[in-house]
Amino acid sequence: MVYSKSKRFLLAVAVTGALSAAGGIPVKADDVSDFYHNRDVTVVVPAGPAGSFHLIGQIVARHIGKHIPGHPTVIIQNRPGAGGVTASNYMANAAPRDGSVIAEMNPGTVIMPMMREVKFDPRKFAWLGVFTVRTYTIGVWHTVKATTLDDLRKTEVVMGSSGVGSLNYQLPILMNHVLGTRFKVISGYKGGGSINLAMESGEVQGRGNFYSGYTAAKPEWLRDKLVRLLFTLGPRRPELAHIPRLRPLFPEGEARQMYDLLEVAFNVGQAFHLPPGVPHARVVAMRAAFDAMLKDPELIADCDRHRLTLRSRDHKYVEKVVDDAFRISPEVAHKLAHILGMDGVKKKS
């Protein structure tokens, strides 16, 4: 798939200016352009096809190439597994460090290094920015009788999950421990699309999902009331004001702090990054391209067609959210890891 053509001169000026402002070593903008010319850039998606993660990756791939100096070809690569950990491990250890591979982060994966042994540190990624921050929901299929917290304490509900690194695993498990719900979590699905199919077939009864995951991938579920939303988390949306918020249900103190650690994911949102070690000039060029892409009228129209709401943030915002997350008490992280039953829980130092 080829996406691009246009305004090379303006981009070259922007990249050169950004380098100067950052205090970096002067680099000719054409050096960056020459690197990307006739080259493939890969967008890594931390899930399988058919879900909203894949859709966002596709939209980025369709539009970012025209804003990268040299106008490379942009392709998609799905790397599902362990709720996003597989993709993050790849980006930290095996992905080329030349600026030719960018990745979408599964938001729930950001805090994994605080709770289990993984092979990446999100503080070392070169963040490009956030495509959108998204409201999250806990929902069940319309045939499920449990509709309140009291119901969920009495009735087992089977939830689908892509793995321990994902919010659709972590949240119901924490709710079981703190709130006494009886969720049974089935892990191993390759992404949101697979979980949606499992809900339709009756294999599972519910899931955690971003609201825009429904509006983009399954709008008919909302229209026909096939899915019942029980709780919301993260950024608020006016159309969901009548759905109970999950955070106030958690008692203040350690339980609330564990919840807040998971809610870091909603603050990070659908963020994109480069692996560690990419040359500075290319990092600056990619950040400029990502920022320009988010303002592109063609991308905005594409999001409107797919009912995706853009709530973008810059790379400095992501860096701060990630740094703040790693300042949360290690004891809270250890306790949460134990509750989630993660292998390789880190011992207190």
pLDDT digits (tens, 9 = 90+) for 164-222: 878 899 999 999 999 999 999 999 898 889 999 999 999 999 999 989 889 988 999 99
Rounded to 5 degrees, φ, ψ at 229 are -85, 125
Render pLDDT for 283-323 as a digit per residue (tens, 0 to 9).
999 999 999 999 999 999 999 999 888 999 999 999 999 99
Residue 276 falls inside a structural domain: yes
- Average pLDDT over the chain reads 89
Provide the strand spans (E) within 161-245.
Answer: 183-186, 206-210, 227-233
Q: The tokens of 163 are what?
A: 């793995």
Specify the pTM: 0.76
For residue 243, the 8-state DSSP code is: S
Q: Is residue 256 located within the same domain as residue 294?
A: no
N residues, the chain: 349
Residue that terminates a domain, selected from 246, 265, 284? 265
> Do residue 282 and residue 206 come from a single domain?
no
Same domain, 116 and 38: yes
Same domain, 202 and 216: yes
Domain, as residue range, for 84:
8-133+268-328
Asked if the structure places residue 346 within a domain, the reply is no
Structural domain count, the chain: 2
Which residue reads 């690569």 in tokens?
77
Does 189 map to a domain? yes
Residue 241: give its domain's CATH number: 3.40.190.10
pLDDT in tens, 112-157: 999 889 999 999 999 999 999 989 999 999 999 999 999 999 999 9
CA–CA separation, 157 and 144 (whole Å): 8
Please tell me whether residues 17 and 123 are part of one structural domain.
yes
Q: What residues does 227 pair with on adjacent strands?
A: 141
Q: Indicate whether 338 belongs to any domain.
A: no
